[in-house]
Structure 1
């Protein structure tokens, strides 16, 4: 876990894992903002079956490991037997928090990603992984994006955080600070933990949509679980090829939103004056959380 092999130096969250590979989706149907209509006709019965089995597996793991805000909202995705229609989810999201789901053919450029979030539009890849990719898919697919990300957009505070992140991303692009902001996304939106009265729970999409990382992140004695700190988090490298060596723990979504509301310009300057922190490192004096009980 502490090897530098596979350590990400701060690649933008919408392009992580792509490297030099050609994008997987069909980008010829994308609009200027990279959105596209959900191609529902592309889904085969095998695709729907893969979605159903993934949904059932992850749903079974949630009790005692996922935050209650996620568990309470996951049913808003609709019936789990088939891949949902984005328009149906958007109708419910609009009523709840003013967000909508928009289709994209795959990974999109960072500025396009930030611009959509700033408009309260969450981009969801519309293709489904193959059965042989059941346990691991290199690029985010429709299951990861829908199951992992969308439920918390029904939470008003987290929904506001995501919009603020998008607005901050547009500014970070002008300040050459996307590397630092990517670490914020990675350690909160994708791999965040939250302290609750019942114990540690996951809220990050990369954890909640993973077959193995949900139990690992919350209950394993191996990783470090460090109290959330904005500068500390932006200094921290992360892994893209295995479970995380460290997770950051927030006390509430309100804490997350309030910490990231101010202007980041002076923060970026301060972080650049400090050394980066390696994967799995704990610094002196940091508040560290122990693992939670395994509910199995």
Structure 2
């Protein structure tokens, strides 16, 4: 899934040209307006990922997935999700029409509100969608918000995002979010496991990220991640792996200001680069992306 906005279109609740009157961009979920087709898409995606993730996702994700009030056969109600989250970690889910401005996104996170798109993809978009929908945002993100470490980290990221905007270094901080919250892996019981929402909500990347020989899997190091570009149009060429989820708490307590200065002085790395200083867990063959590039040049 790409983070680039797709052209405006309508489907179910998704008029993506709509912009709300409220300054925080929140809207009513409008759950009663979901169609039978919308719920059927959710059911297909939910059941597919529920089969795939045990043994591939980390224990915290699988536990959160089972404990949240998410039925397999219908799109969840955000108020019910919020009730469960508030009891556990103080978070809530708020509906937004789609992608929101950075400052709005960060402010929500800083106040423990997770903005979720209320629309759901079409049946012909099951395997690829540019703009995050309700399945990505709810199924992918909400289970980990039940975990106290992730709950603290994402709030700290929201606070840090507001500061990064003022400092003009948002790109560097965005890479941290991308390679953790969206596409992060963690060591668990001698294997790498998924905790990132972008992987957990994708049937193909759930397998690719942890089993395919193509991508690099490299130990997480903050400044290395902040200096590394990422793919928004395809699978990642490199995944960064935490030793444990508690590493995220350490990141939440760091003063990033001097780190921004150091990262600005170092070269920017491409998504598939492997450095001599890296802790390489798996050095990928690069075959998947090489074949894609070859086809593109044919």
Same fold (TM over 0.5): yes
1:273 is aligned, of 240, 265, 270, to 265
**Which residue is equivalent to 2:205?**
213
**Which residue is equivalent to 1:249?**
241
Deviation string for 1:21-71 (max 9, x for gaps)?
Answer: 458525344511111110113210000010011000011001211000000
Looking at structure 1, the residues matched to 138 and 259 of structure 2 have their Cα atoms a distance apart, in angstroms, of 32
Instruction: Label 1:201 to 1:268 Cα distance change in 2 as closer, same or farther (>3 A).
Output: same
Q: Which has the higher contact order (CA 8 A, sep 6+)?
A: 1
Question: Per-residue deviation at 1:84?
Answer: 0.7
**Which residue is equivalent to 1:84?**
76
**Which residue is equivalent to 1:228?**
220
**Which residue is equivalent to 2:288?**
none
Deviation string for 1:190-230 (max 9, x for gaps)?
Answer: 00000012411010000000120111100111100110011
2:32 is aligned, of 32, 38, 41, to 41
Looking at structure 1, the residues matched to 33 and 137 of structure 2 have their Cα atoms a distance apart, in angstroms, of 18
SS in 2 for 1:184: helix
Matched, 1:64 2:55: yes
Looking at structure 2, the residues matched to 135 and 30 of structure 1 have their Cα atoms a distance apart, in angstroms, of 32
Which ranges in structure 2 are unaligned for 5 or more consecutive residues?
10-14, 284-298
2:41 is aligned, of 43, 46, 50, to 50
Contact 2:149 / 2:248 at 8 angstroms: preserved in 1? no
**Which residue is equivalent to 1:197?**
189
SS in 2 for 1:123: strand
Looking at structure 2, the residues matched to 65 and 206 of structure 1 have their Cα atoms a distance apart, in angstroms, of 14
Question: Per-residue deviation at 1:142?
Answer: 0.4
Contact 2:152 / 2:252 at 8 angstroms: preserved in 1? no
Question: Per-residue deviation at 1:252?
Answer: 1.4
**Which residue is equivalent to 2:253?**
261
Contact 1:172 / 1:181 at 8 angstroms: preserved in 2? yes
CA RMSD of aligned residues (A): 1.7
SS in 1 for 2:202: coil
Please, what TM-score do these two structures have when normalized by structure 2? 0.89
Instruction: Label 1:209 to 1:30 Cα distance change in 2 as closer, same or farther (>3 A).
Output: farther
Looking at structure 1, the residues matched to 19 and 243 of structure 2 have their Cα atoms a distance apart, in angstroms, of 43
Contact 1:77 / 1:89 at 8 angstroms: preserved in 2? yes
Which ranges in structure 1 are unaligned for 5 or more consecutive residues?
1-12, 292-296
Matched, 1:17 2:8: no
SS in 1 for 2:241: strand
Q: Which runs of 4+ in 1 moved over 3 A?
A: 21-24
Looking at structure 2, the residues matched to 201 and 152 of structure 1 have their Cα atoms a distance apart, in angstroms, of 13
Contact 1:225 / 1:290 at 8 angstroms: preserved in 2? yes
**Which residue is equivalent to 2:286?**
none
Please, what TM-score do these two structures have when normalized by structure 1? 0.90
